[in-house]
Amino acid sequence: MGLRVSIVLPTYNERGNIEPLLAQLLPLGEQWDLELLVVDDDSADGTAELVRQLAHNEPRLRLIRRVGRSGLASAIKEGLLDATGDLVLVMDSDGQHEPGSVRRAIETLEAGGSDLVIGSRFHPEAQILGLSDRRETGSTWANASARFSLPKRYAHLTDYMSGFFALRLEPLLPLIRGVDVNGFKFLYELLAVSRGRLSTAEVPLTFQPRTYGSSKLDLAIFWDFLISILHSLSFRLLPRRAISFGLVGLSGVAVQLLITQLFMALWGLGFEQALPIGVISAASSNYLINNALTFRFARLKGVLLLRGLLKFLLVASLPVMANVGLASAYYSLIAPNAFWAQLAGIVVVFVWNYAASSRFVWNTPN
């Protein structure tokens, strides 16, 4: 029993799932020196309190309770960095990953020359019992996009979005440290930062229906995936947050053009009178979308949301004036074309808005 195996279990509101899962994992201690790490994002349903109580009588169980930090990828990274095992396996805590697959993944990693073994829902021998048609279609599309954006050495893999994987900890620690925890999926980000240097294998999963709670998937998760793909395709040269801010900015372009045109067409305002309304509307729209998506881990709510909007408009006031001034000058002096005049002004303000609002509105580094 010389080999030490750590199992990292990220949790958020999984009180109904975690105890039966732990009961199924603990017998693995008969084969390996076992460590179970539950990394909890300060669950409101008492998950951490239950695990703490269970740990009183089970020395192989450890709780890491995170306050002021959240997100699945960052929970996985923290668990991996805190693990003491020679081999570490990460799995979901919602009961959808069958504990019986753990033994197969660890034995495959132990016996072969692989650095990383992935539990795949789309392996030819896998069974999907707990994935809706909509989620299965979405996962299939996401895997196809991931395959296109990752190094060719990983083209044989079938599930880049898996939350079930095992790895050799010591040699992979430098890569784990380099994973961007704002990414869509930890596994995808790990494969991306490895640049094709990892030897990989897959084992089939029997993906079970969730018995308690609900899926954590939402619009922000899909947004993170899109940013992850674009980040990889840019050879990771462009900051993830800048890519997100830029995409939101494109929606702001549409808002500004639409609002300006509406006020010109429906209310008979001249371009110079309608433009400031369009610019302020676009800035407000950008702020709300960025708060929901780009800066969702520092998301502002309630009074802070309103205060943040005022800060954002203040921070953006200089570039807004530059936007209006440049667009008006273009319209008057170069060509009376409302579209190109506004686009010229919008291009000028992007960098300022990104850098300044990151620091002064959401108080995050760029």
Q: What is the C-alpha to C-alpha distance for residues 63 and 54, in angstroms, rounded to an integer?
A: 10
pLDDT for position 156: 93
Q: Report whether pLDDT(318) > 80.
A: no
Q: What is the mean pLDDT of the chain?
A: 84
The model's pLDDT over 58-99, given as tens digits with 9 standing for 90+, comes to 999 999 999 988 888 999 999 999 999 999 999 998 877 788
Average pLDDT over residues 40-48: 94
Hey, what domains does the chain have and what are their CATH numbers? 4-233 (3.90.550.10), 240-360 (no CATH)
Tokens of 354: 């990104």
- The H or E element that residue 199 is part of is none
pLDDT for position 71: 85
| Torsion over CA: 287, 293, 294, 297 (sign) | positive
Summarize the chain as % helix, strand, coil (round to 5): 55, 10, 30
Q: Letter for the amino acid at 363?
A: N
Beta bridge partners of 167: 88, 116
Give which of 262, 272, 358, 366 is closest to 321, Cα–Cα: 272
Contacts for 259 with CB less than 8 Å, ≥ 6 apart: 274, 277, 278, 281, 282
Q: Report whether pLDDT(361) > 70.
A: no
Q: Letter for the amino acid at 211?
A: T
The model's pLDDT over 154-210, given as tens digits with 9 standing for 90+, comes to 999 999 989 999 999 999 999 999 998 776 689 999 999 999 999 999 999 987 766
Strands (E) across 137-277 are located at 165-168, 200-204, 206-207
Q: Report whether pLDDT(124) > 80.
A: yes
pLDDT for position 366: 54
pLDDT for position 140: 78
pLDDT for position 206: 82
The model's pLDDT over 5-20, given as tens digits with 9 standing for 90+, comes to 999 999 999 999 999 9
Instruction: Confirm if 108 and 114 have CB atoms less than 8 A apart.
Output: yes
Q: Report whether pLDDT(110) > 60.
A: yes
The structure's pTM equals: 0.74
pLDDT for position 127: 81
Pick the range with the lowest mean pLDDT from 12-26, 99-113, 121-135.
121-135
pLDDT for position 225: 76
